[in-house]
Amino acid sequence: MTEQDKTNYQRIEAAIGYIKDNFKTQPSLDTVAEKMHLSPFHFQRLFTEWAGVSPKKFLQYISIDHAKTMLNNQATLQDAAFETGFSGTGRLHDLFIRIEGMTPGEYKNGGESLTITYSFADTPFGNIIVGATPKGICHISFADNAEEGLIALQQAFPNASFQQATNNTQLNVLDIFTHNWSKLDEIKLHLKGTSFQIKVWETLLKIPAGRLATYGSIAKQIQQPTAARAVGSAIGDNPVAFLIPCHRVIQSTGKFGQYHWGSNRKTAIIGWEAAHTNPDAQK
């Protein structure tokens, strides 16, 4: 990602923050462009290049009413085995990505004897750090600051050894940011978590791109309907950003709520996914 790309994303992120805070007034293109100190023409072009849809269409995707619509659609899709996805083939996360929990010893000793390779990469939503063991991806985090991103990975596995390198597992993960899900069957996750956390994370993988779920619905799916708060904690502890789509879980009111890597980034991802999975997105 070039410096210009980073600047452009920062502008779009700021615009999304403004739209999110003011969606009830349905701000016009001119109003948002003025807030971003850009001409309406330049802002429209920049936003459409980034999101694939106009600011007006994107506003629809992040409004409360549309969020509730996506929630309703999600409910009906559960019985249809979550048959949506970027590829349009009906092949889903849960059919391809497998989670292998770390052994009790690996979990307890903070990754001792594990060798974790890590690399940094650019995505439409900022820089990420990707960590992998020989068994699969163990960590993905948005890392606007590379040094802080590496420290967070090291803190998650304080006794592991680390090597900066890029392998095929990491490259396959990056394909999901370009709508290429053809290599999902080659992605495996190797995660440190309690059995409850892993059960929640596995359930998140079943939420299709462009759809949303609530904390309560996740609790029901794992057959613990009174555990919505515990589900929220497990979601907040998700170690694999974007690939395990904790960003697709929102409040039952339709409000998007908080996100470990920033609420504006969460809103951006939700809108971007909705835009790219909705056949009417370009209309």
pLDDT confidence of residue 91: 39
Which has the closest alpha carbon to 126: 138, 137, 141? 141
pLDDT confidence of residue 179: 62
Q: Which amino acid is at 67?
A: A
CA distances from 68 to 93, 132, 162, 173, 204 (A): 23, 36, 43, 30, 18
For residue 273, give both structure tokens: 């996914």
Please answer whether residues 252 and 72 qualify as being in contact, where contact means their C-beta atoms are separated by less than 8 angstroms. Answer: no
Q: Where are the beta strands (DSSP E) in 8-160?
A: 98-101, 115-123, 126-133, 136-142
Please answer whether residues 41 and 30 qualify as being in contact, where contact means their C-beta atoms are separated by less than 8 angstroms. Answer: no
Active site residue 246: yes
Model-level pTM?
0.81
The 3-state DSSP class for residue 88 equals: coil
Please answer whether residues 129 and 141 qualify as being in contact, where contact means their C-beta atoms are separated by less than 8 angstroms. Answer: yes
pLDDT confidence of residue 185: 66
| Percentages of the chain per state (helix, strand, coil), in multiples of 5 | 50, 15, 35
Please answer whether residues 99 and 191 qualify as being in contact, where contact means their C-beta atoms are separated by less than 8 angstroms. Answer: yes
pLDDT confidence of residue 183: 63
pLDDT confidence of residue 88: 36
Identical topology for domains 3-61 and 67-277: yes
Q: How does DSSP assign 97-108, residue by residue?
A: -EEEEPPHHHHH
Please answer whether residues 169 and 187 qualify as being in contact, where contact means their C-beta atoms are separated by less than 8 angstroms. Answer: yes
Unique residue bearing structure tokens 């403004």: 18
| Distance between start and end Cα atoms, the chain | 29
CATH architecture of the domain 3-61 equals: Orthogonal Bundle (1.10)
For residue 91, give both structure tokens: 């092949």
pLDDT confidence of residue 231: 94
**Continuous segment of H or E residues that includes residue 164:** strand 161-164
The Cα 190–Cα 192 span in angstroms is 7
CA distances from 42 to 30, 34, 46, 164, 230 (A): 11, 11, 6, 39, 45
Q: Does domain 67-277 have CATH number 1.20.140.10?
A: no
Instruction: Show me where the domains of the chain are located.
Output: 3-61, 67-277
Catalytic residue, from 246, 250, 268, 281: name it. Answer: 246
In this prediction, the residues of the chain whose per-residue pLDDT falls under 70 are 1-2, 72-96, 178-185, 278-283
